Structure formats: structure tokens, C-alpha cells
Amino acid sequence: MDEHLPLKGIRVLELGTLLAGPFSGRLLGDFGAEVIKIEAPDKVDPLRDWGGKKEDVGLWWPIQSRNKKSITLNLRVTEGQKIFKELVQESDIIIENFRPGTMEKWNLSYEELSQINPRIIMARTSGYGQTGPYKDRAGFGSVGEAMGGIRYVTGFPDRPPSRIGISIGDTLAALFATIGILTALNERHTSGRGQIVDTAIYESVFSVMESLVPDYLLANYVRERMGNILPNVAPSNIYYTKDETYIVIGANSDSVFKRLCKAMGNSSLCDHPKFNSHIARGENQHELDSIIEKWTKENESKVILELLHEYGVPSGLIYSIEDIVKDPHYKEREMIIEKNHPKLGKFPMPGVVPKLSRTPGEVRKVGAETVGKDNEDIYQRLLNYDDDQLSIYKSNKVI
């Protein structure tokens, strides 16, 4: 079934817990990598209990751990470390998101593992990276978001900094780690050697913070919280409508703004000195937003959106999850899919991103409900352990 998948033949050992590391594993698994999720036999990934619950099943785990195999292994003991090194010999990638120094404490440093397998790539995601004065600090995604700058600019100016409603710091770190992994895989074709992919959560957040650095260092400007607008980018806001809902309109480029003016029946607006250029609109964005919202308040959202779509003006409702699951575009793009869950039956989840035209990714199964479900498959097929060896390791709490 997975013959077409572009990462078929790549084996990943996933050691991380919760979000950043496992999300990288999920992305690689979606495109065919054999991802082996390793949990301690006495301390499983807390994500198993996260999210809403149905029939005592955590609803986050089946998504985050989809397409992965589940084994147990105690890396805190010598026997477990020995087994892990055997797995490294048969693998391409290690994903871990522990505090720096943890792998070294377990005698599993990259230097040692690369002696066993010079082609191994180790993706290391942490709050502050593997070097620097903060490297030993505990670092969750929330702190990375704060120190990366995104929390400072999120929210309204008359209120304290806010958070985005998802774990964006962890997700950004996972995306950058995955880019690093794929880049290292490609480079390995030339050198034949693996390397470390060092991803810090705060740096992953900071890297998407647009022009904050030159704004401050060259123009002495500090971007503050601005609510639903971007400073000096207009019109780009939410607007209240006659049927008491909000729509988003983004028409800040000159050509799109002209189309918006035509849709509003106010073509002369785009020639007004206050609004006839990007800079002018930015300087007068509050006045411009008031003019646009006066128009939207006179019409229902459906009428406005149909008109804006007709004129080619980017616009849309602010979707709740209820809106998303009902939307035909999501359905056509296979962005909400269903896979069988052994306890819950059909289990809905987000589809695969991005879409590849010739070798698309796919979700083949939900995350393993049973801890260590694939112990026999991995240890017997991959390492040729027999039943007696597995029994001894299990009785010694190594697996």
C-alpha cells in the first residue's frame, strides 16, 4: 500500500514526548518513513491523556502518533542503552526533545552513536538549543513563544500579552526540525555521513517574526500589540456585518484595494490622497477600517463575501471547527479524513500537508492505543531477538 510513499525505506527512532519531537515524527510518517515511537515501560508519553476524551481514550494521541509503531525501552539502564544502539545500527534518524545533556547522561551522545552508524542523523529539539548560556534551562513551547517574541505582539494594546490558541512554538520547532532532517538526508547522499539537527523552540518562533530586528535596530521602532491589524498594513482586519458576525478582508495591495473599492461601490475611495498608496493607507488605517466597516454593517456576511469573491478580494468567515467540518473545500482537499480506531471506530483527523502530485503522503493508521504494541515486530524482525530474550528483557523491565 505504501510503495509510492517518498520516504519509504527511511527508519526513524522517535524518543521525544508531548509535542515538538513527536510532531516531526508524524510529518515523516505521513510520507512513508517507518517511525518507531519509543516509550519507557514505566513512563509513557503524557500525550496519551491529552485532548478531549471519549470512552477514556485521549483524542490527541491517535493523531499525533498516526503511522507510527509503538515499542517500549528503558534508556535509563545499561541493557536498554545497548538495545537502543542496536536499533541505531538499523536506522537513519533519531528524534529527541529532551533537555540538553539527557542523551549524554544515558551514554547515547551523538559522538558515540555516530561511531556505531556514521550515517545516523540526530534531530535535537529543545527550548534553547544545544549550546549557549541557557541550554540547560527547562524550556516548554510557551516559554519559547514568549522569548521568541510572538507573545509580545499578540493581543490588544490595552491588555496583557496573549497566547495563540494552539501550541504554536512546539509546532514551529517541529517544522524547522523536519526541514533540517530532510536537508541532512539530502546532504547525506553526497557525504555519506549524518549530522546533528539542532532546533531551539525560541529560535523557531523568532525566525518567523518578520522585520522586528531591522525595525528596532535601524528604525528605532518596536512593534507592539495591535489587536487584529498589522501596523501600517491596510486594509487587513476583521469587520462586523449586518447579521452580527465578523469577516476577514485583506486588501492591502494597490490592485486588490481598487477591486475592494469597486465592490463597495466607491471607486473614488482608491484615489483619495489618504488611501491611494500602501503608505497612505497604513498611516490612515483606522479611518479606512471605519469606512469599510460602515459598509459591511449594512450587508449580511453571505452577500458581502459573494461580492468580494466576484471581485477577487481575499475574504472569508472566521471559522470555528464546526464551520471547518462542514466546508466542502476541506472535503474536496481531503483535509478531514477518517481512519479506523480499534475502540472508537471511525476516527476523524486532519489530512496530510503538503500535497505531492506524484508521491502523495497518506495516513495509514491511527496512533497505537496499546503501549509497546509493536515490540515483537521490531525486536524480532529488526534485531532477531527470540521469545526467550524478549521474556527476559520484559521481566527485567528493560522493555
Distance of alpha carbon 316 from alpha carbon 241, whole angstroms: 12
Angle of the 301-310 helix axis to the 254-263 helix axis, nearest 10: 130
Distances (CA, A) of 63 to 89, 261, 336, 347, 357: 29, 44, 12, 9, 23
Q: Are 12 and 95 in contact (CB under 8 A)?
A: yes
Distance of alpha carbon 315 from alpha carbon 239, whole angstroms: 10
Distance of alpha carbon 249 from alpha carbon 308, whole angstroms: 9
Q: Which three cell numbers stand for residue 232?
A: 501600517
Among candidate residues 30, 45, 92, 170, the one labeled active-site is: 170
Residue 286: Cβ-neighbour burial (10 angstroms; 0-12, 13-18, 19+): exposed
Please indicate whether residue 377 is annotated as part of the active site: no
Q: Which segments within the chain are labelled E, that is strand? A: 11-14, 34-39, 53-54, 57-58, 68-72, 93-96, 121-126, 196-200, 236-240, 246-250, 315-317, 336-341, 345-350
Q: Which three cell numbers stand for residue 171?
A: 509546532
Catalytic residues: 170
